[in-house]
Amino acid sequence: MSLLAQVSNEMVRVYKDQFGRGPTKARSYWCGEDLLVCVLEDTLTMAERSLIAMGEHQRLRDMRIFFQYASTAEFCAPVERLTGRQVTGFISGIDTHADGLAMETFAFDPR
């Protein structure tokens, strides 16, 4: 299995562990030599979908980002293990209008 596929699988696992449900699609990409992005689709839980139905997009973004940054180590550890490189920056984002499209971005020191 390729490194990028392994990273994608690990991000699905982290989501499942952190939120109780994993995304249905995940793809990872190198963006140059020192930046790795994992794109995850259909990430929302039933409770999060309820927030969207109530129009609470900002509340959902705030909650999700809070949980993701509280779990930075859980997101970065598998990426560091798989790549053999230390993550020096982690950026997490979600688009609540695009059915929970999320991106996890990992920056590494230049080689």
Give the side-chain half-sphere CA count within 13 A for 12: 14
Q: Taking the CA of residue 36 as centre, how many other CA atoms within 13 Å lie in the half-sphere pointing to its CB?
A: 27
Judge contact between 105 and 25, C-beta under 8 A. no
At 4, give phi and psi (nearest 5°). -65, -40
Per-residue pLDDT of the chain (111 residues; tens, 9 = 90+): 899 999 999 999 999 998 888 999 999 999 999 999 999 999 999 999 999 999 999 999 999 989 888 999 999 999 999 999 999 999 999 999 998 899 999 999 987
Q: In whole angstroms, what is the distance from residue 25 CA to residue 10 CA?
A: 12
- pTM of this structure: 0.92
